[in-house]
Amino acid sequence: MNQEEVSVAFQELIDGHSYNPHRCLGFHPEDKVIRFYRPDASQMFIEVKGNIVETKKVHEAGFFEYSIDESLQSHDYRIFHSNGLLSYDPYSFFPTIGELDFYLFSSGTHYQAYKILGANFAEQEGIKGIRFAVWAPSAKSISVVSDFNNWDGRVNPMRSLGSSGIWELFIPDLPEGIKYKFEIRTADNSLLIKSDPYAFASELRPSNASIIANIENFNWTDKVWLEKRIKNKGVSPLLIYEVHLGSWKKNDGQFMNYKELAKELVSYCTHMGFTHVELLPIQEHPLDESWGYQVTGFFAVTSRYGTPKDFQWFVNYLHNHNIGVILDWVPGHFPADDFSLSRFDGTALYEHADPKKGWHPHWHTYIFNYGRLEVKNFLIANALFWFDLMHIDGLRVDAVASMLYLDYGRENGEWIPNHFGGKENLEAIEFLKHLNSIIHQKFPGTYMIAEESTSFPKVTMSVEEGGLGFDLKWNMGWMNDTLRYFSKEGIHRKYHHDDLTFGLIYAFSEKFISVLSHDEVVHGKKSLLAKMPGDVWQQFANVRLLYSYMICQPGKKLLFMGGEIGQWNEWACKGEMEWFLLQFPIHHSLQTMIKDINHFYQNYPALWENDSSYQSFEWIDFNDRDNSVISYLRKGKKQCLLCVHHFTPNFYSDYFIPLKNVEEIREVFNTDEERYSGSGKNNLSIERVKDGINILGIKIQLAPLATMIFEVTFTNLSN
């Protein structure tokens, strides 16, 4: 560089809009000089071949030079950072990201973008350090600001890598645990201080700096589990315990660490018979009251409960004790916090620029621009990250309906139709198909689950068959109909009988999970127990009936924490599960019943084999609305169960069920047992009703507000 070019480069750095600081700074043997920028410093020392030497100040703004000869190599000298850290010069290295990475990222198919962008441990020219990289195509300049440079955006400007929109800087010798952010100068010269979208760790709220973390050196020991889940998917029971880690259990009112929680959850889930936990979002989020659904750190586990390695330990421990881990995942929107993704480089980068597509009126959050390939890449790489480096077993995708429809939560005139004139968000639909396809390709044996509340077709059909490609869908219709029915007094339930039977019309149109989720025990909806009518005995009997009814229905199962112990109060995210209730026999007996029927479910394949097929279910009587009773068969390959549900508090000593050709029958579960605080109306013997030699049905004791399950064999294949 001639002196005029150097002067121009100096001024660009002073003004804060240099797109290539390496052109001027660092090791330049062609000019026989090393250049440094230390704003406001009066003098600067460096180490050259082990000796401390002083550099020459050549500009009052803080530019220094050190003259060299041909014998000096780029790694023969080191610099002192503002905090005293001695390291190699960041401006003596070539770019660390290649053309293939640019191509894949801009095409939306860089499935390991988290290993390129963010703050990754790397080795360049034999030197170890941190590669900082961030996508911000409209920025005028970007700097790394951190502990090590006193948060001074002038000290470590980054290099723009052509038309990719990616800015990069390799800084050697930085240790794990360093806090950092990106200082972004926008096109209008505004300065933004942003957390890293790809950061693996973050400060505990209310602070929000990103933290350097090495997450690729954890010693996993769950190989057997990972191999087993491929074989077991779809042919094993799935019984999910939905958990909010911050309010499940605490230590003297304080959050427990991921490791502590792992041990407690394994013990509890194994005892209670749950096969998986589903965690409300554990990605970093600033607001406790959002429950984790307003994510600011998509690649970072929340520091409320520990470090990324602590969470890896959590997953590894659960896997080694045969408990799967599913995470709630929120690709539908992100909060407007100014330190996060919103208008990241001064423009609508991750969100749509038009608020009719980019702003969610209900949640006051931004909506991702699914048509922008780099944004789609961010989300797909994020999902893959949790499977790849955190070994999770599934993602439950939150608020899918809000993604599928352009008019979701909007009035006429507040949304923009697609290019066919319809309300479907075609870009989001394509994103979901791409997402599910690549996850199933790269991580077979895992689950993609949709929380989808509309009648959008083929949610769980494969992409090849024209579907969205999810494995399972929350059955919101069943949940709403069932809870509405259970809120009625027993005497009135006969007028709402269709709420029980309607769900079976569409029960096999998708692969469903029946859910009693967190959404139903907040915001004035009451706890499961408090929703139930009648006196206290009837309320507990109703909860036993509700849960056992769910267990018997087709589909997988999910229960939110607290329901199993009969909490009276709604869930409070800043509180703790009301474990003290278990000292009262009626609460303890409810928990015992749920434990027993969970293990019963696992041990009776008729309840889970092929449960998304109509062949696994057969109505016996769905029309006894006067007595509020339904009965049906659940069929496995080698087993058949008769399920009878009685939804009133009346008792009938000889209730007839039309069940022909019964060869053998015995009661194998009854929620009215005395040890469950029931009335003890068991069926120790069952009368078979005959017409001559033909068996027409059976007579049973019909326990009040109870589920009765019978194992049945027939004299021939049809009953």
DSSP states along 386-435:
HHHTT---EEEETTHHHHHBTTTT--TTSS---TTS-SB-HHHHHHHHHH
Secondary structure (DSSP) of 601-614: HHH-GGGTTTTTSG
Last residue of a domain, one of 37, 64, 92: 92
Pairing state between β 324-329 and 276-279: parallel
Pull the structure tokens for residue 683. 């069926």
- CA distances 414 to 357, 358, 372, Å, are 9, 11, 22
Which helix or strand (DSSP H or E) is residue 241 part of? Answer: strand 239-243
The answer for residues whose C-beta is within 8 angstroms of residue 224's C-beta and 6 or more apart is none
Q: Which of 583, 582, 605 is nearest to 594 (CA)?
A: 582
Beta bridge partners of 709: 643, 669
Question: Beta-strand (E) ranges in 267-323?
Answer: 276-279, 283-284, 297-301
Burial class (CB within 10 angstroms; exposed 0-12, middle 13-18, buried 19+) of 448: buried
Averaged pLDDT for residues 284-309:
95
Question: How long is the chain?
Answer: 719
pLDDT (tens digit, 9 = 90+) per residue, 397-408?
A: 999 999 999 999
pLDDT (tens digit, 9 = 90+) per residue, 79-91?
A: 988 888 889 999 9
pLDDT (tens digit, 9 = 90+) per residue, 422-452?
A: 999 999 999 999 999 999 999 999 999 999 9
718 has pLDDT over 70: no
Residue that has been written with the tokens 């006894």 in this structure: 624
Averaged pLDDT for residues 311-320:
99
Q: What is the pLDDT of residue 149?
A: 92
Averaged pLDDT for residues 411-432:
95
Cis ω before 206 (30° cut-off from 0):
yes
pLDDT band with cut points at 50, 70 and 90 for residue 632: very high
Beta bridge partners of 53: 46
CA dist 543 and 516 (Å) reads 11
Burial class (CB within 10 angstroms; exposed 0-12, middle 13-18, buried 19+) of 489: exposed
CA dist 551 and 619 (Å) reads 16
For residues 261 and 302, the answer to whether their CB atoms sit within 8 Å is no
Q: What percent of the chain has pLDDT over 90?
A: 91
Residue 73 counted as domain residue: yes
152 has pLDDT over 60: yes
Q: Quick one: angle between helices 373-388 and 99-107, nearest 10?
A: 100
DSSP state of 570: P
Q: Which amino acid is at 99?
A: E
Residue 331 counted as domain residue: no
CA dist 193 and 339 (Å) reads 6
Residue 576 counted as domain residue: no
**Three-state DSSP state, 340:** coil
Last residue of a domain, one of 69, 92, 115: 92
Q: Which of 477, 566, 582, 580 is nearest to 527 (CA)?
A: 566
Secondary structure (DSSP) of 522-538: STTS--HHHH--SSHHH
Q: What is the pLDDT of residue 136?
A: 98
CA dist 619 and 611 (Å) reads 14
Taking the CB of residue 382, how many other CB atoms lie within 10 A of it? 21
Assign residue 64 a region (left: φ > 0; alpha: ψ between -120 and 50; beta: otherwise).
beta
Active site residue 398: yes
The domain spanning residue 638 has which CATH number? 2.60.40.1180
pLDDT (tens digit, 9 = 90+) per residue, 460-504?
A: 999 999 999 999 999 999 999 999 999 999 999 999 999 999 999
Which helix or strand (DSSP H or E) is residue 185 part of? Answer: strand 179-185
102 has pLDDT over 80: yes
Averaged pLDDT for residues 275-287:
97
Residue that has been written with the tokens 């502990």 in this structure: 147
Beta bridge partners of 664: 713
Residue 72 counted as domain residue: yes
For residues 96 and 168, the answer to whether their CB atoms sit within 8 Å is yes
Total-model pTM: 0.94
Q: What is the pLDDT of residue 69?
A: 86
pLDDT (tens digit, 9 = 90+) per residue, 29-73?
A: 988 999 999 998 899 999 999 999 999 999 999 999 999 988 888
User: Which position among 398, 427, 564, 611 bears the catalytic label?
Assistant: 398
Pull the structure tokens for residue 489. 């007094």
Taking the CB of residue 622, how many other CB atoms lie within 10 A of it? 15
Residue 110 counted as domain residue: no
* Domain coverage including residue 40: 3-92
Beta bridge partners of 170: 131
Taking the CB of residue 49, how many other CB atoms lie within 10 A of it? 11
Q: What is the pLDDT of residue 2?
A: 85
Residue 70 phi, psi dihedral angles, 5° rounding: -65, -20
pLDDT (tens digit, 9 = 90+) per residue, 515-526?
A: 999 999 999 999
Residue 449 phi, psi dihedral angles, 5° rounding: -120, 135
Burial class (CB within 10 angstroms; exposed 0-12, middle 13-18, buried 19+) of 689: middle
CA dist 704 and 223 (Å) reads 48
Q: What is the pLDDT of residue 717?
A: 47
- Tell me which of 695 and 222 has the higher pLDDT: 222
Q: What is the pLDDT of residue 84?
A: 81
Averaged pLDDT for residues 195-201:
98
Beta bridge partners of 276: 240, 324
- Tell me which of 156 and 1 has the higher pLDDT: 156
Residue 133 counted as domain residue: no
- CA distances 390 to 179, 285, 310, 383, 385, Å, are 22, 18, 11, 10, 7
Averaged pLDDT for residues 546-571:
97
Q: Quick one: angle between helices 308-320 and 258-272, nearest 10?
A: 20
Burial class (CB within 10 angstroms; exposed 0-12, middle 13-18, buried 19+) of 576: middle
The answer for residues whose C-beta is within 8 angstroms of residue 64's C-beta and 6 or more apart is 35, 36, 37, 38, 41, 44, 55, 56, 57, 58
Q: Which of 178, 139, 177, 179 is nearest to 158 (CA)?
A: 139
The domain spanning residue 62 has which CATH number? 2.60.40
Residue 670 counted as domain residue: yes
Last residue of a domain, one of 92, 114, 148: 92
Residue 74 counted as domain residue: yes
User: Which position among 168, 393, 451, 471 bears the catalytic label?
Assistant: 451
Q: What is the pLDDT of residue 719?
A: 46
Total number of domains constituting the chain: 2
pLDDT (tens digit, 9 = 90+) per residue, 578-593?
A: 999 999 999 999 999 9
Q: What is the pLDDT of residue 234?
A: 85
**Three-state DSSP state, 563:** helix
> Cα angle vertex 639, ends 635, 642, to 5°?
60
pLDDT (tens digit, 9 = 90+) per residue, 662-708?
A: 999 999 999 999 999 999 999 999 999 988 888 899 999 999 999 99
Q: Quick one: angle between helices 536-552 and 585-603, nearest 10?
A: 10
